[in-house]
Structure 1
Amino acid sequence: MKNPFLGTGIAIVTPFTKDGNVDHKALANIVEHNITNGTNYIVISGTTGESVTITGQEKQDIIATIANTNKGRLPLVLGIGGNNTANVINEINNTDLSQFAGILSVSPYYSKPTQDGIYQHFKAISLACPVSIILYNVPGRTASNMTPETILRLAKDFKNIVAVKEAGNNVSQYLNLLKNKPEGFGVISGDDDLALTVALAGGDGVISVIGQALPKAFSKMIALGMAGDAKQAYKLHFELMEITSLIFSENNPAGIKAVLQALNLCNDTVRLPLVEATDGLKQKIKDYLLNFNS
């Protein structure tokens, strides 16, 4: 199978009201903001969506709000992953995936399996999953790196494993994947700061955090990069460098929620153990956006 996830995908936040409930009105507004400003697909219930503090019922309600707002205009990807293989498969089996183009499944965290353990985990998921799978390698959160050899082994062995979201912030690993990947397998940046570099090197785009706040500029940058127009793409990259750095300077998604609050798309509430961005960071974000918009 060929990777259908091209361009700028966004790892959408889960907005909360000040009392900590899911803010479905704000969520719908963020979806519409992205649809009308160039985003190519939406990833639901990833790290940026605070998936680990969302209940099963809340996840279903979030899916419903996004699907009802989207109305089939953009492909949707659902995060289903974890370090309990049986639980991941159970969720796949008990989720209506007919409205999704694929799932994003994180490499097992905390347990620190061997590379063969990671391979066997995704083999079991592949055999159970009726839709396309994007592998998600984020060693800074999982405490183990899914090596290019393991990723490429999975890509060659299972047709429904169509791409990897690589978020190790490791240029050498990106280049290894791009050099050796099978035809049609997608290498998607999970690092906003390296997204243009990966696109210019032959990658399939990005699943972005900052892209949901500034979709017009960010998606244009990625499209230019994928078209090989480095000069114009880097103009946008340089304009976006500061805000891309700022949103990750404390924690994700506190930073991006501070940006979205400044844009009047949602407030900046996060769930413990995360805390809101500091006043200092919020001011830097506001100063950046004032200059960016002008």
Structure 2
Amino acid sequence: MSLRQQLRGTGVALITPFNSDGSIDYDAFEKVIDHVINGGVEYVVALGTTGETPTLHKEEKIALANFTYDKVAGRVPVVVGIGGNNTAELVEELKSFPLDKAVAVLSASPYYSKPSQEGLFQHYKALAGVSPKPILLYNVPGRTGRNLNAATTIRLAKEVKNIAGIKEASGDMAQCMEILRDKPADFLVVSGDDALTLPQVACGMEGVISVAANSFPRLFTDMVRNCLKGDFKAAKELNDRLIQGYEFLFAENNPAGVKAAMAELKLIGNYLRLPVVPVSAGLQQKIKEYVKNLK
């Protein structure tokens, strides 16, 4: 099965549950893995930025990756997030990180440094040259401060052998359509915006790597499946029920919003690592009522 076939549909960027003392709550993490797989997701992404990876130590990342492989146990494919703004350090990490059981690496583009498009190209070319698994680009300019534009994405797709796809979260529908028009046939394009997934699949994307699927996997995966089979009437009915949820999850911070929802579902404790803090009391109450009433 090709990577495009394996990663068609809904992937979920797994949160990292913590205990009140800040340590990783592995019992809750196992519950989350079972919750999303039983909810129908096609694959999971461990160590994405939704997992608060900037606050995780190297040893914790390795332990989380291995725990994910063990608990997923082949039920769905696993993608591992390895990204950052120090290219040389990432090159070394890719050489040694446990990736045997992963199908791909999702790599967020460099943050803060704001490299040129040529800098972004050379960064990803360097990672692809050493990665033992295919690289999925991750464009999220709202967080990184620099857009990976359509021309650079297509150049990477056509010129760098080990670049297999992109999680596109620019929110720019014109840019998304340009990528979909010009990409190679075997290049995977998935959404990185829960709230835009329906129209983006309508434009030709093959799914999404989702935050909301942590908390509402069944509704969300059903919505995406309806999109992929072209039943947009059924997809819209499900998406209409989720729109307010998207708003609440991202109103103050991700993953603070989705962790608040998952705490209401009794899956995790509502703990985060600084500088991220739990959502405000007012938003928590709105999330509580939304979760309670979501059918």
Q: Taking structure 2 as the reference length, what is the TM-score of the superposition?
A: 0.97
Correspondences of 1:144-293 after superposition (within 5 Å):
144-293=146-295
Q: Deviations over 1:129-150 (max 9, x none)?
A: 1111110000011111000000
* Residue 25 (str. 1) matches residue 23 (str. 2): no
The alpha-carbon deviation at position 24 of structure 1 amounts to 0.2
The alpha-carbon deviation at position 2 of structure 1 amounts to 5.5
Q: 1:13 aligns with which of 3, 15, 21?
A: 15
Q: Deviations over 1:29-72 (max 9, x none)?
A: 00011111100111111111000000111111211221111111
Q: Aligned Cα RMSD in Å?
A: 1.0
The alpha-carbon deviation at position 96 of structure 1 amounts to 2.1
Q: What CA distance in whole angstroms lies between the structure 2 residues aligned with 1:236 and 1:263?
A: 20
Q: Counterpart of 1:241 in structure 2: which amino acid?
A: I
Q: How many residues are treated as equivalent by the alignment?
A: 293
Q: Percent identity?
A: 43
Secondary structure of 1:88's aligned partner:
helix
* Residue 101 (str. 1) matches residue 103 (str. 2): yes
Q: What CA distance in whole angstroms lies between the structure 1 residues aligned with 2:105 and 2:277?
A: 28
Match of 1:125 in 2: 127
Q: Which runs of 5+ in 1 are unaligned?
A: none
Q: What CA distance in whole angstroms lies between the structure 1 residues aligned with 2:68 and 2:177?
A: 34
Q: What CA distance in whole angstroms lies between the structure 1 residues aligned with 2:34 and 2:212?
A: 16
Match of 2:116 in 1: 114
The alpha-carbon deviation at position 81 of structure 1 amounts to 1.1
Q: Counterpart of 2:111 in structure 1: which amino acid?
A: Y
Secondary structure of 2:22's aligned partner:
coil
Query: Is contact 1:27–1:65 with CA below 8 Å preserved after alignment?
Result: no
Q: Counterpart of 1:204 in structure 2: which amino acid?
A: E
Query: Is contact 1:109–1:141 with CA below 8 Å preserved after alignment?
Result: yes
Q: What CA distance in whole angstroms lies between the structure 2 residues aligned with 1:130 and 1:275?
A: 36
Q: Deviations over 1:11-35 (max 9, x none)?
A: 1000001111100000000001111
Q: What CA distance in whole angstroms lies between the structure 1 residues aligned with 2:204 and 2:18?
A: 37
The alpha-carbon deviation at position 160 of structure 1 amounts to 2.1
After TM superposition, what 4+ stretches of structure 1 lie above 2 angstroms from structure 2?
1-4
Q: What CA distance in whole angstroms lies between the structure 1 residues aligned with 2:109 and 2:60?
A: 23
Q: Which runs of 5+ in 2 are unaligned?
A: none
Match of 2:52 in 1: 50
Query: Is contact 1:2–1:185 with CA below 8 Å preserved after alignment?
Result: no
Match of 2:68 in 1: 66
Q: Counterpart of 2:216 in structure 1: which amino acid?
A: L
Secondary structure of 1:265's aligned partner:
coil
Q: Counterpart of 1:149 in structure 2: which amino acid?
A: A
